[in-house]
Structure 1
Amino acid sequence: MPGIDECLLEVMRLPGARGAAVVDWTSGLALGTIGDSPNGDHEATAAETAEVARMAAEQPAFALPALDPSGDRAVTGRGTAPSVEDVIVTTGGGYHILRFVETAFDSSVFLHLWLDRAEGNLALARIRLGEMAERLVLA
């Protein structure tokens, strides 16, 4: 079970990875960073991507209602984990993948990967980020 630093090192092994961070989307603070930042400032990038993550996670249009144990009807007010798994922003030169991390407490963390469009594989990166998000240990 990797911690933040080990997770970020593993993310940077992905083909085309330019930079990565673990970010708290409620505060906009970077819990860990590695590699380059799109604007040269990891903290500013963390705050900016947190706004995108928060916007996606809090929109009712993207929410899937939780079902009661019988599976018959939606239950409201359960848990704080966003139903959104990830957000992908495509730019001319790359992809920004924001992968939400479910935790035992408040689930307010996501992995941000900045991936080069020419060298990276979006599908592979999305799958690997999902695997890493499941194994990430926040202490």
Structure 2
Amino acid sequence: MANIDISLKEMMAVDGALGAVVVDYSSGMALGTHGGSKDLDLQVAAAGNTEVVKAKLRTMESLQLKDAIEDILITLGSQYHIIRPVTGRSGKGLFLYLALDRGRSNLAMARHQLKAIEERLEI
């Protein structure tokens, strides 16, 4: 079991990591951040990606899909952004957000590592 700080450090250890956040999507607030830059404001990313998660959940409800989001991937020209809802009972309403440099990362490995980090996270 890992706490938020440990999970953020593990996320930043993923090859190509630019920034990592644990977000409460009911409020859009970042519970913890690591990394980021003047070009990657993690507080803004947390709030903005909250809207992405909420929109997807509303769409799934409208479509009456009885499934759960595993992760949401946004690909940019130079970056990957991965959003992974926390599925554990103690993490309900949270998601992990990881921004990666596309040229220095392996997307499949990053998704695999983020899943393992999410499974160990204990709030």
TM over 0.5: yes
Q: Figure out how many residues of one structure are paired with residues of the other and give that number.
A: 121
TM-score, structure 2 length as denominator? 0.90
Contact persistence 1:25–1:54 (CA under 8 A) = yes
Q: Which runs of 5+ in 2 are unaligned?
A: none
Aligned ranges 1:1-139 → 2 under 5 Å: 1-37=1-37, 39-60=39-60, 61=63, 63-64=65-66, 83-104=68-89, 107-138=92-123
Which entry has the higher C-alpha Rg, 1 or 2?
A: 1
Structure 1 residue 137 displacement after superposition: 0.6
Q: Which runs of 5+ in 1 are unaligned?
A: 66-82
Structure 1 residue 102 displacement after superposition: 1.3
- Please tell me the residue identity of whatever aligns with 1:14: V
1:62, 1:95 → 2: CA distance?
29
**Structure with the larger RCO, 1 or 2 (CA within 8 Å, 6+ apart):** 2
Contact persistence 2:19–2:42 (CA under 8 A) = no
Structure 1 residue 105 displacement after superposition: 5.2
TM-score, structure 1 length as denominator? 0.80
1:25, 1:100 → 2: CA distance?
9
Structure 1 residue 62 displacement after superposition: 7.9
- 1:26-81 per-residue CA deviation (whole Å, 9 max, x = no partner) reads 1100000000157443221110011111111232248325xxxxxxxxxxxxxxxx
More helix by share: 2
1:135, 1:106 → 2: CA distance?
11
Contact persistence 1:39–1:45 (CA under 8 A) = no
Between 1:127-136 and 1:102-111, the stretch displaced more is 102-111
Structure 1 residue 25 displacement after superposition: 1.1
Quote the RMSD (CA, aligned, Å): 1.8
